[in-house]
Amino acid sequence: MVHWSVTRIVALVVTCVGILGGATALASAAHAAEDQPAGLVQGFLRDLAGNPVPGVDVTATDTAGFSGIGTSDEAGRWEVKVPGAGTYTVELDEETLPDGVAAPTKNPIDNVVVTGSTRTVLFTLGERERTLTSKWDQAAQLSVEGLRFGLIIALAAVGLSLIYGTTGLTNFAHGEIITFGAVITWWLNVTLGIPFILAAILGVVLSGAFGFVNDQALWKPLRKRQTGLIAMMIVSIGLALALQNIFLIFFGGASRPFGAFETQAGIEMGPVSLTPKDMAAMTIAAIVLTLAGLALLKTRFGKATRAVSDNPALAASSGIDVERVILVVWVVGAALAGLGGILQGLTQQVFPLLGAQSLLLIFAAVTLGGLGTAFGALVGSILVGLFINLSTLIPGMTPELKNVGALLLLIVVLMVRPQGILGRRSRVG
């Protein structure tokens, strides 16, 4: 008789789910392809006051001779159906702009790459009163944008670090928790018509519930079986692949904005320009991270969490309910990750691989700050965000290579401090 361990059973189930999800996604994509265009370039036209600009023609062309045109509607939305994946030039017909609306600062927009079914292109209408004429101005703008991105990924990084610190699990499915928060909020906001703020609050709550289900249905049984951390890490990879396919089935492969705040005019603050939604995202992230830090330092549960992270066996012998602490950490960590996904979808757009594309940077931030330390994850996230944006000031550094700066920083710091910036040395053996 063949004896199956729980690890083999779970790995087999997750693998089967991933294969089934992939097959279903392919079938769904093939069915959708019959009714949808091979590709779509779209956008929203707003003036500097945020008002929609209708009746403006936008043309998309490629080097193969394709040319398509779309006209903005009363909501300012335009779209051009394209033959499929490829590189296009998108140009706004300035002669169709209404009186009082100045031409965009960049027109046409070249090298628009369409890889999925939809690509959003935004034109900035109206003349800027200020242009970035010096490296210092650019550095100031990029620093603020890097700080914004760092604060947003810090929400997910803190949650990942807390889970690692209390359980030792390297959770590769953490990115899908980020995506879950963004996707469920989009569904509540756009599909059900719930106002964005209420939908975001519900999205955070449901993300915490998603973390609860994760722990109780999968990770707690594996811990009770004393499954090895390597096996659990592999299970998390299978879970991530399965969830990615599920998101693709129910959400589709396109990038979609929330039902509000598609485009906003930037507010000039000296050499820096930020939209209201960017400032709101930074403020919310900073407040939540501050409250999380105070909770870890000042509350009994925070002290218990740190005790479990330091030594679970000693914490249990001191009367601390280790499993209860781990469960709450999962709920809080998932809620923080979900909030990070919501804010990231607000400043960008929502798509099924939102969390997966950020996961490498989140791991870099956690490792850079120090594994298992929440404050280290915060410091690492801010440094990663700053270096990603500021690295584009280096001549020859294209936006596609901007993540290289953060990863190089990680290598340099770990060569000097292998335990990370705020991590503690540990003896092996």
What is the pLDDT at residue 269? Answer: 80
To 10 degrees, what angle do helices 276-298 and 300-310 make? 80
What is the pLDDT at residue 337? Answer: 95
pLDDT band per the 50, 70, 90 thresholds, residue 10: very low
Q: How far apart are CA 60 and CA 80, in angstroms?
A: 7
pLDDT band per the 50, 70, 90 thresholds, residue 340: very high
pLDDT band per the 50, 70, 90 thresholds, residue 107: confident
Residue 391: pLDDT above 50? yes
- CA of 8: how far to CAs of 15, 167, 225, in Å? 10, 20, 12
Range from 20-24, 299-303, 415-419 carrying the lowest mean pLDDT: 20-24
- pTM of the predicted protein model: 0.70
**Chain centroid to CA 10:** 28
> Domain 135-416 - what CATH class?
mainly alpha
What is the pLDDT at residue 237? Answer: 95
Query: Radius of gyration (Cα) for the chain, nearest Å?
Result: 23
Query: Which of 176, 221, 127 is CA-nearest to residue 359?
Result: 176
Mean per-residue pLDDT over the chain, rounded: 81
Mean pLDDT of 138-148: 86
Half-sphere exposure of 77 (CA within 13 A, CB side): 7
DSSP state of 422: S
Q: How far apart are CA 215 and CA 210, in angstroms?
A: 9
Whether the Cβ atoms of residue 238 and residue 11 lie closer than 8 Å to each other: yes
What is the pLDDT at residue 1? Answer: 41
Mean pLDDT of 210-235: 93
Sheet containing 86-92: order of strands:
67-71, 57-61, 86-92, 109-114
What is the pLDDT at residue 29? Answer: 43
Partnered with residue 77 across adjacent β-strands are 44
Q: How far apart are CA 241 and CA 239, in angstroms?
A: 5
Q: How far apart are CA 361 and CA 71, in angstroms?
A: 38
DSSP string, 62-108: -TTS-EEEEE--TTSEEEEEESSSEEEEEEE-GGGSPTT-PPPSS-S
- The domain 39-120 having CATH identifier 2.60.40.10: the answer here is yes
Which residues, 6 or more positions from 267, have their beta carbon under 8 angstroms from its beta carbon? 273, 274, 275, 276, 279
What is the pLDDT at residue 6? Answer: 42
Angle 77-260-361 (CA atoms, 0-180°, nearest 5)? Answer: 100
Query: Which of 384, 348, 352 is CA-nearest to residue 365?
Result: 384
What is the pLDDT at residue 11? Answer: 46
Q: How far apart are CA 214 and CA 239, in angstroms?
A: 10
Partnered with residue 109 across adjacent β-strands are 90
Mean pLDDT of 125-130: 53
Return the higher-pLDDT residue of 184 and 88. Answer: 184
What is the pLDDT at residue 25? Answer: 45
What is the pLDDT at residue 44? Answer: 82
Query: Which of 144, 165, 215 is CA-nearest to residue 375?
Result: 165
pLDDT band per the 50, 70, 90 thresholds, residue 330: very high
Q: What is the dihedral of CA 303, 307, 308, 312, to 10 degrees?
A: -150
Return the higher-pLDDT residue of 105 and 133. Answer: 105
Return the higher-pLDDT residue of 208 and 394. Answer: 208
Residue 35: pLDDT above 70? no
Spans of all domains in the chain: 39-120, 135-416
What is the pLDDT at residue 398? Answer: 64
Most confident of 16-25, 202-211, 291-300: 202-211
Angle 349-351-356 (CA atoms, 0-180°, nearest 5)? Answer: 115
Mean pLDDT of 3-15: 45
Whether the Cβ atoms of residue 387 and residue 409 lie closer than 8 Å to each other: yes
Q: How far apart are CA 87 and CA 290, in angstroms?
A: 43
Whether the Cβ atoms of residue 365 and residue 157 lie closer than 8 Å to each other: yes
